[in-house]
Amino acid sequence: MTCDPGRMTEFEVAPARLLQTALGRIRRQTQYRRPLERGGRAAAGIEALLAQAADCVAALARPRAVFVPVRADWTTAGDLRLSDLFTLTAGDIGLPPARGGSVTAYLLTLGFSQADAFARLNGDYAAQHVQTDLSSEVLFALGREAFGVQQAQARGRLRRVSIRTSDICGASRLWDAGRVQALIGQFGAANPGVSVTSAGCFQPLHSLIGLTIEAPPEG
Amino acid sequence: MLTEEEKDTLFDAICDGDRETVVELVDKARSGGHDLGALLKDTMIPAMAAVGDQFSAGEIFVPEMLVAARAMQGGIDIIEPILAASDHEPLARVCIGSVKGDLHDIGKNLVVMMLKGAGFEVEDLGVDVPNEAFAAAADRGHQVICLSALLTTTKPQMLSVVNYLKEAGKTVKVVIGGAVVTQDYADKIGADAFGEDAPGAVKAVKRALGMAN
């Protein structure tokens, strides 16, 4: 995988490798680790659910990461005007005021819907729940892999700005769905089928969008 | 017939998530002409209630509850068609869905499992459910409508559903839950009850129906 700064980059990652990482991480989550450590029937049942969920994700997922450069105009106050779409303040970005730098938008998705997964799991609610937990970890694994590649290609320091359109525990640093829709529009034909509801919910559910800001190389 | 010892084993098998044993014992009860409605009510539902209590007390985690619910479902799959063919009535008919704009199903699915495990007949409307679909469920005879929202941005949709049902003249009970929902919010929008977690949702449905305090 290569990521050429300043150009649209797209990669698809084989689910198997991401799943291996994701399964390791989910087993370290307290809610899974503790009962697995306790052993017995419950642990065996959880292992079976994890295996079922992993099979489902392996069969359905087409993990893809797309990076597109976005025209960015920086104000003296450190605010950022993106492709004449909208302005982001330092607070929106969640970082101290930046002093310029190139901006790339990223879009990550596993490429399958919850409905597809539920059908594949034959309507098994327990397996669907574990699939959802596991898919979150697979998505994060995809993100780490994609950013690792991007970082390796970057000439300056790379800062990642995740965008959250909605939150389960507060409303800080949330972007409204309209701005996210506008940003999704920047991907054009490279968008691997990701959309957002008016309430800010991604479809497919296991998708993420955000920005990376590459600081100018220190001279 | 199952012996008292076998009923205790069935209870423990549900709590431990031992689906194989649950299926084996329920199948034995069916073959032996056991009153399956009584077995469900006196042994299996209390077992799932105990699992819910353990979860609410922080003694077990969600995955353990899932495994228990799945074991319970193994038994219900045998019992349900038999009871459906008889005069047996479920505790009540409940429908559930994630509100319009919310595509998350994780909390809703847990509640579906716990409600089924408590003896309710549950219709799952899925995610991104429009107000009209909830009203139609009321018309189909559901006594309770459970609304799930996981996001700060979809929570206000719950008020929209409550108002829609009121304006449409539906007398169905409304129970709400989800990570962003509180009892204060339930009171504010005029919901009949609030469930703080999946076992709590079962209690909330019972409260809404006047089956519990």
Residue ranges of chain B whose CB lies within 8 Å of a chain A CB? 13, 16-19, 60-64, 66-71, 73, 100-106, 109-110, 112-113, 126-128, 150-154, 157, 179-180
Mutate to test the interface with B, among A135, A168, A202 (most CBs of B within 10 A): A168
Each residue of A167-189: pLDDT tens digit?
444 444 456 778 888 889 999 99
Chain A residue nearest residue B74, CA to CA: A124
- Its domain, for residue A192, covers 9-214
- Structural domain contains residue A83: yes
Chain A residue nearest residue B58, CA to CA: A31
B18 Cα to chain A: minimum distance (Å): 6
User: What CATH number corresponds to the domain at position A125?
Assistant: 3.40.109.40
**CA B148 – CA A131 distance, rounded (Å):** 19
Low-confidence ranges of chain A (pLDDT < 70): 1-6, 91-100, 162-175, 217-219
For residue A189, give the DSSP letter. G
Distance of CA A93 to the CA centre of its chain: 16
Q: Which residues of A touch B66 (CB under 8 A)?
A: 45-46, 49, 125-126, 129-130
Beta pairing partners, A174: A164
Number of domains in chain A: 1
- Structural domain contains residue A33: yes
**CA B142 – CA B95 distance, rounded (Å):** 6
- Structural domain contains residue A125: yes
Q: Which residues of B touch A45 (CB under 8 A)?
A: 17-19, 66-67, 70-71
CATH number, domain B4-84: 1.10.1240.10
Each residue of B185-194: pLDDT tens digit?
999 999 999 9
Query: How far does chain A reach from its first CA to its final CA, in angstroms?
Result: 28
Radius of gyration of chain B (CA): 17
The reply to whether residue A129 touches residue B60, judged by beta carbons under 8 angstroms, is no
pLDDT of residue A164: 60
B93-208 homologous superfamily? Cobalamin-binding domain (3.40.50.280)
Each residue of B85-105: pLDDT tens digit?
887 889 999 999 999 999 999
The domain segmentation of chain B, as residue ranges, is: 4-84, 93-208
Calculate ∠ Cα B11-A131-B19, nearest 5°: 20
- Structural domain contains residue A3: no
